[in-house]
Structure 1
Amino acid sequence: MQHKKAVLWMVFGALACPAAGWSDQAALFETQLTEPGVYVAAFGGMSFQSDSNVNLDAPGGTLGTLKFDTGSLFGGAVGYQFENPFRIEAELAHRGYDVGRVKSAGTVVPAGGDVSILSLMVNAYHDLTYDQWKPYLGIGLGVADVAWNDVTSALTPPIDHSDYVFAVQLLAGVGYELTPLITATAGYRLFGTSDPKFTARNGTVVTGKIIASEFILGLRYRF
């Protein structure tokens, strides 16, 4: 009988030790939750815009494919950090690309002009915390003003027009807490919009495509 009691106490002890460890881990996580509050953020980096077909809006095929030089991205945001690992923000950002060339039916010709994108997004994030490191995942929805500015080539009609379109972005990266109030960030974004529609100077209506891979650095300050 005493032997059975000893076995039962050993089993209870084996179960109680991991449970205590899990409790300690949960307590550690709770102490690492970020203090709630308003924050501001600023960021900048490189944006790699994928090739964009210049398609006739009416049936008629593709006039050519625009190829862009590496672009720039900069912006800012105002947000709120909840006590749990979530935060939400409003973001204003600008992207700019020079048009390098146009390709059509195997022919490549120089092109001029540039593309600018002004976006207003609402982003939601889920932050993880491990000491001073704060990895994050997020998604953003909003609108973008896409402008093709004096885009010209021998294969496409001159275009100097803009269009408002729906925009979405996926966000991932990591933050490092420099001080309790200041966090440095490095991240990746995949930004895209619904197809913008433009009217060329000769009256031809065409559509384009916006999909960009982006790498950014930034700072976030919590009040």
Structure 2
Amino acid sequence: MKKALSLVMVFVAGFMWSSTGISAQKYVSGNIGINWFNDAEINDAGTDIENIKLDSGLTLTGAFGCDYGAYRVEGELGYQSSEVDSIVDLVDDVTDEDVTADVAIVSLMMNGYYDIEFSGLEVSPYAGVGVAQVSYDEWNNGDADVDETTLAWQLGAVFGFPIADNIMLDARYRYFKTTDFNIGSYETDHETHSALLGMRINID
């Protein structure tokens, strides 16, 4: 938790510097799409004991950023949702398909983009680091809810298409990963893949 809070402080300081230190075009953006969660392996003292299988879900992001020409820096607030589909007991090789729970990840990320133009099309690989709040709620098997803060990082690529003055249509792929967090006395992490569509609007 202390590491996560420290990273938030670095995030805020870095973004404040990037938005005021050099002249830049400010913008806001929003994206919506679908995510796919990789199976989450539950670890007990170095041994994988269970495998949580999750359904696809919704991803939402919103960002405020600074465009410096060839590169961009932004602060991004993100939300991802899913549901537990089943849990596989790796020790006894038994699958419980009746268990359900709502899963949500709320993230605060600082992203850096490198913009490459091809005949009006903008291709932008990007990377980001930040913090994530992971929650498991409404277990139908009586398990305790989970509410954990952990570090996170992401990689992706954006294809931008200008559709009007100061407005860009964005299509993007994002890979997102948390560091380990606790579910009860055990550890796991989350990896997701998202396909998103959105808009980026210059605001000054």
Same fold by TM-score greater than 0.5: yes
1:172 is paired with a residue whose SS is: strand
TM-superposed CA distance for 1:129, in Å, is 1.3
Distance in 1, Cα, partners of 2:52 & 2:34: 19
Distance in 1, Cα, partners of 2:187 & 2:82: 17
Distance in 1, Cα, partners of 2:46 & 2:111: 38
Distance in 1, Cα, partners of 2:100 & 2:117: 46
1:112 is paired with a residue whose SS is: coil
Which residue does the alignment assign to 1:194?
A: 179
After superposition, residues 69-218 of structure 1 pair within 5 angstroms as 69-82=55-68, 84-104=69-89, 105-110=92-97, 111-151=99-139, 153=141, 158-199=143-184, 205-218=185-198
TM-superposed CA distance for 1:69, in Å, is 0.5
Give me the TM-score of the superposition, normalised by structure 1: 0.75
TM-superposed CA distance for 1:172, in Å, is 0.6
- RMSD of aligned residue pairs (Cα, Å): 1.7
Distance in 2, Cα, partners of 1:127 & 1:185: 13
Distance in 2, Cα, partners of 1:46 & 1:217: 9
More helix by share: 1
1:64 partnered with 2:50: yes
Distance in 2, Cα, partners of 1:136 & 1:60: 38
2:127 is paired with a residue whose SS is: strand
Provide Cα deviations, 1:54-79, integer angstroms capped at 9, x if missing partner: 223xx384442110011110020000
Unpaired segments of 5 or more residues in structure 1?
A: 1-34, 200-204
Q: Match of 1:42, as an amino acid?
A: G
Size of the alignment, in residue pairs? 178
Distance in 2, Cα, partners of 1:62 & 1:160: 21
Q: Match of 2:116, as an amino acid?
A: L
TM-superposed CA distance for 1:176, in Å, is 0.2
Which residue does the alignment assign to 1:25?
A: none
Whose relative contact order is higher, 1 or 2, with alpha carbons under 8 Å and at least 6 apart? Answer: 2
2:164 is paired with a residue whose SS is: coil
Q: Match of 1:109, as an amino acid?
A: D
2:83 is paired with a residue whose SS is: strand
Unpaired segments of 5 or more residues in structure 2?
A: 1-22
Q: Match of 1:213, as an amino acid?
A: H
Distance in 1, Cα, partners of 2:43 & 2:66: 41
Q: Match of 1:44, as an amino acid?
A: I
Q: Match of 1:217, as an amino acid?
A: L
Asked whether the 8 Å contact 1:140–1:168 carries over to 2, the reply is yes
Instruction: Indicate the percent of aligned positions where both proteins have the same amino acid.
Output: 26
2:101 is paired with a residue whose SS is: strand
Distance in 2, Cα, partners of 1:128 & 1:42: 21
